[in-house]
Amino acid sequence: MQIALFGATGGTGRQVLEQALASGHTVTALVRDPAKIEARPGLNVVCGDVLDQEATSRCVQGADAVICVLGSGVGTEPVEAHGTQRIIEAMQTNGVRRLVAVTSLGVGDSREQVSPEFRQAMDTVLQPIIAAKTEQERLIQASGLDWTIVRPGGLGDGPRTGDYRSGTDPTLMAGLVSRADVAEFVMRQLSDVSYLHQCPAVT
């Protein structure tokens, strides 16, 4: 499968990239700094910014599916919503249907699935990022594409274990999950449409 990947140099994005290549997929990744990504067989790199429509379209062209793992740090200008809008437009222009995007538990109707402490952070220091992810989800849900939104709990750098819970049960509470396990769940969505037009948690 040909995959267009956005956010490939982030923690979860790197795990998605490694697992996609290990599974024999071809990946085209849009990166601002090519020095942050190692050249290897099966990987095509497009140098550019997700806010640049032309670069984003080049990344999407010819893809069978798109994986979006865009993220922003505290104190930076969130790119999730504006970048996702560019990705959606590129997919619509190029006739690409399948989109798997990673946001976060706590966003949208999952607010009660995170701890009171995290909800407090969502309303203060994380407010700009949560607002961007909320708008990102709204844009995806209104896109008309074949989307799945993956909402992980707290992210850690542990190994891929396969020992995690997932689903749309609103009683599923956020807990620590490795980025490698989130990547495994994301990759499964490419061949499994059980969560088509749904927002499963991974925790």
Tens digit of each residue's pLDDT (9 = 90 or more) over 128-187: 999 999 999 999 999 999 999 999 999 999 899 999 999 999 999 999 999 999 999 999
What is the pLDDT, as a whole number, of residue 160? Answer: 95
What is the pLDDT, as a whole number, of residue 73? Answer: 82
In this predicted structure, the answer to whether residue 20 has a pLDDT above a threshold of 90 is yes
Tens digit of each residue's pLDDT (9 = 90 or more) over 42-89: 999 999 999 999 999 999 999 999 999 999 887 788 999 999 999 999
pLDDT class of 28 with cuts at 50, 70, 90: very high
The residues that bridge with 90 in the sheet, in sequence order, are none
Domain boundaries, the chain: 2-202
Distances (CA, A) of 194 to 90, 159, 183, 188: 25, 25, 17, 10
pTM of the model: 0.96
CB 6 within 8 A of CB 69: yes
CB 28 within 8 A of CB 59: yes
What is the pLDDT, as a whole number, of residue 72? Answer: 87
What is the pLDDT, as a whole number, of residue 76? Answer: 84
CATH 3.40.50.720 fits 2-202, yes or no: yes
Print the SS3 string covering 37-80: CCCCCCEEEEECCCCCHHHHHHHHCCCCEEEECCCCCCCCCCCH
